[in-house]
């Protein structure tokens, strides 16, 4: 499988992501400069975490207007896989590839910690190696992860199984205390209608080797491989 990792000025999880795909998944992977548009030969594009364009204007806005993101929109329209992690999720919402917006955390603080997540839909290209209701432990690290979407859209997303991950406690309870940033209904990850575009605030690439304390990120990365095989 051929992965491409988008590199915008200010991306800072690009190499972590690249390394995990290359050394842990042992798959073909390349970094892609944000000015490029020739991406049709990839099977999956990953928009990594970081602070693209310094978060100027709003997180993800300027990156969403680059040539590469334009090409990623066409790539997604063809049904190919796109996953945005943290700042990548913010870029995907700003590019209108995913519904909603990511606002500043409700308490105004940057939050960096291991976080429990409940898999709400295990029938997607990104979660097929999970069970529905499974609890994953994956780190989060963000200032703007407070997911917001209007009630009508949210209802449609819930009916269509587009809410993929929610913040929960270690037992899988969806509580206010377990919500690290004020996200509506504890939402941590969502997909588009067709399920080929996925955005999430947690960092699977930081949870893919035992030395880092959790390998639960591999459930997500290996789901992508399974879907493609």
Positions marked active-site: 86, 203, 205
Residue from the set 77, 107, 156, 194 that interacts with another protein by CB under 8 A: 107
Show Cβ contacts of residue 10 under 8 Å, excluding neighbours closer than 6 positions. Answer: 50, 51, 52, 53, 54, 55
Contact of 205 with 169, CB cutoff 8 Å: no
Query: Judged by CB under 8 A, which of 94, 120, 205, 216 binds another protein?
Result: 94
Q: How many residues does the structure list for the chain? A: 229
The reply on whether position 182 binds another protein by CB under 8 A is yes
CB of 149 to another protein, least distance (A): 8
* Closer of 127 and 146 to another protein (Cβ): 146
Stretch that binds another protein, among 6-14, 53-61, 80-88, 112-120 (CB under 8 A): 53-61
**x/- letters, 130..149, toward another protein (CB under 8 A):** ----------------x-xx
Q: Which of 116, 93, 120 is nearest to 197 (CA)?
A: 93
| Interacting residue with another protein among 31, 101, 111, 141 (CB under 8 A) | 101
Q: Which helix (H) or strand (E) holds 197?
A: strand 197-200
Pick one of 58, 185, 222, 228: the residue that binds another protein (CB under 8 A).
58
Nearest to 134 by CA among 187, 172, 82: 172
Task: Give the interface segment with another protein, choosing from 97-105, 129-137, 161-169, 189-197 (CB under 8 A).
Answer: 97-105
Secondary structure in 3-state letters for 88-117: HHHHHHHCCCCCCEEECCCCCCCEEEEEEE
Please state, in angstroms and rounded to a whole number, the distance separating the CA atoms of residues 80 and 211: 32
Residues 61-80 touching another protein, rule: CB under 8 A, are 61, 65
Distance of alpha carbon 12 from alpha carbon 113, whole angstroms: 17
* Contact set with another protein (CB under 8 A): 57-58, 61, 65, 94, 100-101, 103-108, 146, 148-150, 182
């Amino acid at each position: 499988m051929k992965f491409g990792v988008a590199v915008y000025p200010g991306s800072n999880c690009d190499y972590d992501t690249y390394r995990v795909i290359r050394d842990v998944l042992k798959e073909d992977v390349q970094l892609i400069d944000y000015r490029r548009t020739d991406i049709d030969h990839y099977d999956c594009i990953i928009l990594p975490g970081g602070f693209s364009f310094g978060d100027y204007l709003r997180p993800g806005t300027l990156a969403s207007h680059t040539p590469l993101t334009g090409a990623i929109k066409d790539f997604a329209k063809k049904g190919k896989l796109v996953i945005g992690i943290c700042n990548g999720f913010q870029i995907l919402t700003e590019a209108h590839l995913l519904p909603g917006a990511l606002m500043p955390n409700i308490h105004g603080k940057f939050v960096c910690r291991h976080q429990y997540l409940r898999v709400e839909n295990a029938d997607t290209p990104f979660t097929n190696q999970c069970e529905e209701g499974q609890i994953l432990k994956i780190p989060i690290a963000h200032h703007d992860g407070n997911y917001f979407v209007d009630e009508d859209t949210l209802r449609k997303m819930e009916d269509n199984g587009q809410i993929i991950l929610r913040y929960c406690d270690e037992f899988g309870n969806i509580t206010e205390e377990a919500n690290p940033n004020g996200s509506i209904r504890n939402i941590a990850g969502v997909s588009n209608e067709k399920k080929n575009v996925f955005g999430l605030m947690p960092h699977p690439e930081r949870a893919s080797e035992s030395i880092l304390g959790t390998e639960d990120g591999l459930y997500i990365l290996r789901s992508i491989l399974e879907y493609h095989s």
